[in-house]
Amino acid sequence: MKKALTVLAALATVGMVACTQTEAPAPAPAPAPEAAPAPAPAPEAAPAPEAAAPAAPEAAAPAAPAAAPAAPAGK
């Protein structure tokens, strides 16, 4: 059960990071046409994954306690 909870927490974390990374590039293309130079949006995209990294541990912490009550209920 502990392994399953760990896997679920990891998948939830990966899902949160994936969603964050998917949303981050979306605003980047809009400024690109306005700001003619392409190098400008590139540095803006770099901090987005860094911002997603701190969110991963925060997402993992709530995921574990949320999954814990589900285990006894399943039994």
Report pLDDT for 23: 52
Residue found under tokens 């399943």: 74
The parent domain of residue 51 ranges over 2-74
Place of tokens 């998948």: 11
- Write the pLDDT tens digit of every residue in 2-50: 888 898 888 777 666 655 555 545 554 544 444 444 454 444 444 444 4
Exposed, middle or buried, 56 (CB in 10 Å: 0-12/13-18/19+)?
Answer: middle
Q: Are 41 and 28 in contact, with CB atoms under 8 Å apart?
A: yes
pTM of the shown model:
0.24
Residue, of 10 and 65, whose pLDDT is higher: 10
Q: How many domains does the chain contain in total? A: 1
Query: Would the pLDDT of 51 be above 80?
Result: no
Collapsed DSSP state (helix, strand, coil) of residue 29: coil
